[in-house]
């Protein structure tokens, strides 16, 4: 028979929000159980240098997450390698079902499921995913040594991906749908200063071009945002970096969401409309979406859960 684990606090997600919630909930003697999901460590595990984590001028994203994990575990968080596939918030204790058949019941739940890469939704993008189309330069950049690649997007991720790819590619072309980037100024300067980078402004990706035998990318057709005029650019890889969507599928029918799926919480808190249920990090934050703000919200969620449980409402 499948195993059932009861915990006072169930934390779903192992990014900065989840691990920080684990640290605080453990130190409040709540013996939390943290389910790590299919991306242990979260989004920072697919990047390289993190330069805005206070206390570290520069730290590798995966290293930072290994340290956060160790910290949460050392103070008493039980870490579970599982992925939650269903969550019932209709009655207490709340119930979660894991991918491996386990059941978790909890007096309080901290949802820290973060966000995942957004795709354009093109047929050709789907066709060449894993065959020249990627959303992770850190994972796949190495395959493009000496080749030309395209990066689509104009935010921090796109600029960081483009800069990272210059280490391998002979040329990196950033394609952005407007005539200015939203990435932070220091990153923009690095991009503009890099001789391997070309920027194509005011264009969108219309189609990824490629062959079938072997399946692979040979170029892209771009369209001008206003005139619709198209042009073809040769490249071996296309990196999509157009932002992230909140991973709120587990609660989309149970909690209010806004701005494209972000879980609504009380202003200045992490409490959702269901007492005992909290949302922290990128799953609720459509504004800042930073490691440090996610960690901060993880702390808030654990402290709010502790108060809720100690007031005897559970």
298 forms part of the interface with ligand NAP (CB under 6 A): no
Across 13-83, the runs of DSSP E, i.e. the strands, are 33-35, 49-50, 59-60, 78-80
Among 205, 240, 250, 279, binds ligand FAD (CB under 6 A): 250
Q: Shortest distance, CB of residue 227 to ligand FAD, whole angstroms? A: 32
Q: Which stretch binds ligand NAP (CB under 6 A): 24-32, 136-144, 152-160, 296-304?
A: 152-160
Task: Decide: is 177 part of the binding site for ligand NAP (CB under 6 A).
Answer: yes
Site stretch for ligand NAP (CB under 6 A), options 56-64, 67-75, 103-111, 240-248: 240-248
Under rule CB under 6 A, which residues in 109-148 are in contact with ligand NAP? 120
Distance CA 56, CA 6 (A): 37
**Least distance CB 274 / ligand FAD (angstroms):** 17
Q: Residue 52 interacts with ligand FAD (CB under 6 A)?
A: yes
> Of 140, 235, 282, 299, which residue is the catalytic one?
140
Any contact of residue 247 with ligand FAD (CB under 6 A)? yes
Q: DSSP character for 276?
A: T
182 touching ligand NAP, by CB under 6 A: yes
Please say if 299 is a catalytic residue.
no
SS3 content of the chain, % helix, strand, coil (to 5): 30, 30, 40
Give the integer Cα–Cα distance in Å for 89 and 47.
33
How many whole angstroms from its chain centre is CA 85?
Answer: 18
Binders of ligand FAD in range 133-192 (CB under 6 A): 157, 160
List 8, 9, 28, 37, residue binding ligand FAD (CB under 6 A) = 37
We find the least distance from the C-beta atom of residue 175 to ligand NAP, in angstroms, to be 8
- CB 256 to ligand FAD: min, Å: 19
Residue 20's SS3 state is helix
How far is it between the farthest Cα atoms of the chain?
65
Which ranges constitute the DSSP H helices of 42-184? 61-74, 123-128, 137-140, 156-165
Pairing of strands 148-152, 237-240: parallel
Separation of alpha carbons 12 and 86, rounded Å: 11
Residue 188 in contact with ligand NAP, rule: CB under 6 A: no
User: Any contact of residue 220 with ligand FAD (CB under 6 A)?
Assistant: no
**Concatenated DSSP letters of 162-192:** HHHHTTT-SEEEEE-SSSS--S-HHHHHHHH
- Residue 305 is classified by DSSP as H
Residue 83: contacted member of ligand FAD, ligand NAP, none (CB under 5 to 8 Å, by partner type) = ligand FAD
- Give the binding site for ligand NAP (CB under 6 A): 52, 120, 152-158, 160, 177-178, 182, 204, 242-244, 289-290
Give the residue numbers marked as catalytic: 136, 139-140
């Amino acid at each position: 028979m499948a195993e059932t684990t009861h915990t006072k606090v169930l934390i779903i997600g192992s990014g900065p929000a989840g691990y920080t919630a684990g640290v605080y909930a453990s130190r409040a003697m709540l013996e939390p159980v943290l389910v790590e999901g299919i991306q242990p460590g979260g989004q920072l595990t697919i990047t390289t240098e993190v330069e805005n984590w206070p206390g570290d001028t520069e730290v590798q994203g995966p290293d930072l997450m290994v340290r956060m994990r160790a910290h949460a575990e050392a103070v008493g968080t039980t870490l579970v390698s599982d992925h939650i596939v269903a969550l019932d918030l209709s009655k207490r204790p709340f119930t979660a079902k894991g991918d491996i058949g386990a059941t978790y019941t909890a007096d309080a739940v901290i949802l820290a499921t973060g966000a995942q890469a957004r795709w354009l939704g093109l047929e050709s993008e789907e066709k060449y995913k894993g065959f020249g189309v990627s959303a992770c330069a850190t994972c796949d950049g190495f395959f493009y040594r000496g080749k030309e690649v395209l990066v689509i997007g104009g935010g921090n991720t796109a600029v960081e991906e483009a800069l990272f790819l210059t280490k391998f590619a002979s040329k990196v072309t950033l394609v952005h749908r407007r005539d200015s980037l939203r990435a932070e100024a220091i990153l923009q300067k690095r991009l503009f200063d890099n001789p391997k980078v070309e920027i194509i402004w005011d264009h969108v990706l219309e189609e990824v071009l490629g062959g079938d035998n072997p399946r692979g990318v040979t170029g892209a057709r771009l369209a001008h945002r206003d005139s619709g005029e198209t042009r073809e650019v040769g490249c071996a890889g296309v990196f999509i970096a157009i932002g992230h969507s909140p991973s709120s599928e587990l609660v989309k029918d149970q909690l209010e969401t806004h701005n494209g799926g972000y879980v609504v919480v009380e202003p200045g808190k992490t409490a959702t409309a269901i007492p005992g249920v909290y949302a922290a990090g990128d799953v609720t934050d459509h504004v800042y979406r930073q490691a440090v703000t996610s960690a901060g919200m993880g702390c808030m969620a654990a402290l709010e859960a502790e108060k809720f449980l100690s007031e005897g409402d559970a």
